[in-house]
A and B are shown apart, each in its own frame.
Chain A
Amino acid sequence: MADATYGSLKVEVQMRGESIASRVERWSFGSVIGLLSAAAIVLLVAPTLIVIIVSFTSGMSLRFPPPGYSLRWYEALFTNSPDLWRAAKLSFQVAALATAISTVLAVSAALAIARRPVLWARFLDSVFMSPLMLPTLALGLGLLVWFNLFGSGVSMTTLVIGHVAITSPYILRTTCASLSQLDGVLLESAKSLGAGPLFTFRTVTLPVIFPGIAAGAFIAFMMSFDNVAISLFLSDARSEVLPIRLWNIIESNLDVRAAAVSGVLIAVTTVLVILMERVFGVSRHVR
């Protein structure tokens, strides 16, 4: 009680003691930060909102604001767009397979890398993270030449392999981060209480790192589902993934169906992100 009174008194003294110059400075700093942040937020949010609004247009073009509103382009998705559904199905399959494989590979590697501050572990870590920094298109072209050289050509398998290369860094990163939170004392006590390595892993390690793995797998899935640079080189004419189909639609005739597909993708992504945020705290793992 006394503390609180003292605190508010102190604040008052400070406020009264604040010179005009420092008040101007504080105000100018706050407004510059506020304005630039506002610009950033508008830049982040506006494009998505505009696509959603346009997707409900009743017109034949992407005019904004739309001349009227209707669900016709969403109906078109369900009535005469087998190409888009086929592409979406393939994208889903590739992303699911790539995520499953890269989860196994990356979690296994993370278990060895994360708890070792030694040089080789740090070296391996940066090696496995390199696909995030390298131009993906170069990797796609390299893989295409590679598969042609070994005579296998491109197929669903090669597509999945290419996607594993770019998705495993995300899972490695989130799993390593979760493992670094794991308290060594927990493992020691499990061991001294007579728990075997597999039992310890299942009952101590896994529950602690599972949110990290799940968040990583989710990010990996989304990145694979969205990938163009690898798929461009590794899919044949018959197997077109969704982002490439969408890209072709946008580049050829700017069909308004592209807006409806975008609307669906935005809605699904938003729901999934909010869900994953609630359950696993995805945002903590992307930092």
Chain B
Amino acid sequence: MSGTLAVPAGRLPPDAGASSGSLASRLLSDWQLVLPLGLFFLAFVFGPLALLGYVSLHTNVSLEEVTLAQYTKFLFDDFNLGVLGATLWLGLKVTVLTLLIGYPLAYLYSVARPFWQKLLILLIVLPLLTSAVVRTFAWLVILGRQGIVNETLLALGLLEMPAKLLYTPTAVVVALAQIELPLMVLPIITVLASIDPNLRQASQSLGAGSWRTFFQVILPLSAPGVLAGCLLVYASSVSAFVTQTLVGGGRQMFMPFYIYQQAIQANNYPFAAAIAMILLFSVLGIVVLVNLLARRVRVLSHG
């Protein structure tokens, strides 16, 4: 809380950082420190994405006339709209499922003893850092014709023939839920740790039972973590190319594979670019919308 708060946004005296005494301020100015990453992002993140948007406004790669043809082609076709709908719907289902089992896991972590906390956090972080291709491959082994699920059902006599479990919508949801679960659990763990434990005791000693304490005290206070987790899981699962493709198979088309197919297999770059733009702005739109709604709710609930 040194003088930095007083510095007006936008205009910065050249040695403004000196008050915070960081290396930054005196050897190099803040702008000089940010510049390399800033230039990199302009050249290799926002430049390419802008170019992609530009390409999507043309009929072919010679980039002659500007037209919305790719977008009308996408938006006036039931198949394309179906792919978009299936992708956004998939994201929602994965988000709900990860929240349903991820929240209790985060809650369990927050009330566990330190030893169990260490073990739990390892179980949560390990999958996050293990290759997604490997974790997706595991589902092919589990759900395959000779996989554990089919073999068990056959052995129990519940099935006569191996069932087709892979390449179904449910398989994609379950596999993706496993892949994205850590992204839901970690932000909720963080927010639960910041809740004053006295609040729970106060609520209970005032006569509220476990369920009421949970729904009226703990859950509302953990809303920011739930929100962060949901957005991360949603954004990540709608663009989870590997899992969608391997577990979903060729029958179910989702937006990421559609982009890949149109670009690499059909060589139709403008259309692929348009699909990418539509996916990008759908995700962006949903993230912004949910954030705005959350802010509205927060303002309302605080009077």
Contacts and interface: CB of A to CB of B under 8 A. Distances in A.
Interface of A: 21-22, 25-26, 28-30, 32-37, 39-41, 43-48, 50-51, 54, 61-65, 104-106, 108-109, 111-113, 115-120, 124, 127-128, 130-139, 141-146, 149, 161-162, 164-165, 168, 172, 184, 187-188, 190-191, 197-198, 200-201, 205, 219, 222, 225-226, 228-229, 232-233, 243, 246-247, 250-251, 254, 258-259, 261-262, 265-266, 269-270, 272-274, 277, 282-283, 286-287
Is chain A's interface secondary structure helix, strand, loop, or mixed overall?
Answer: helix
Given A138-B280, A141-B263, A184-B2, A124 B34 contact: yes
A138 B105 contact: no
A187 B7 contact: no
B130 A48 contact: yes
Given A118-B9, A141-B52, A229-B241, A40 B105 contact: yes
Residue among B23, B140, B178, B241 having the largest count of chain A Cβ atoms under 10 Å? B23
Interface residues of B, number: 109
B52 to A, nearest CB: 4
A120 B264 CA distance: 39
Nearest to B54: A145
Contact of B101 (A29, A39, A162, A190): A39
B293 interface: no
Interface string B114-129: 0000001111111111
Contact of B276 (A35, A135, A262): A135
Contacts of A62: 140-141, 144, 146-147
B279 A200 contact: no
B239 interface: yes
Given A47-B139, A54-B141, A120 B9 contact: yes
Q: Interface centre among B21, B33, B44, by most A CB within 10 Å?
A: B21
B20 A184 contact: yes
B207 to A, nearest CB: 9
B147 A135 contact: no
B93 interface: no
Interface in B199-220: 209-211, 214
B189 interface: yes
A66 B188 CA distance: 38
Task: List 3 tightest A-B contacts by C-beta distance, closest first.
Answer: A142-B48, A47-B138, A119-B9
Contacts of B211: 25, 28-29
A287 B187 CA distance: 6
A37 B151 contact: no
A15 to B, nearest CB: 13
B197 interface: no
Contact of A37 (B31, B101, B125, B260): B101
Given A25-B210, A62-B140, 6 more contacts: A130-B45, A134-B280, A141-B52, A184-B20, A226-B131, A232-B264
What is the predominant secondary structure among interface residues of chain B facing chain A? helix
A250 B137 contact: yes
Interface string B169-186: 000001001100110011
A275 B99 CA distance: 30
A243 B33 contact: no
B273 interface: yes
A117 B4 contact: yes
B112 to A, nearest CB: 10
A116 B44 contact: no
Contacts of B2: 184
B182 to A, nearest CB: 8
B168 interface: no
A69 to B, nearest CB: 15
B69 to A, nearest CB: 18
Contacts of A115: 4, 17, 20, 22, 24
Nearest to B185: A40
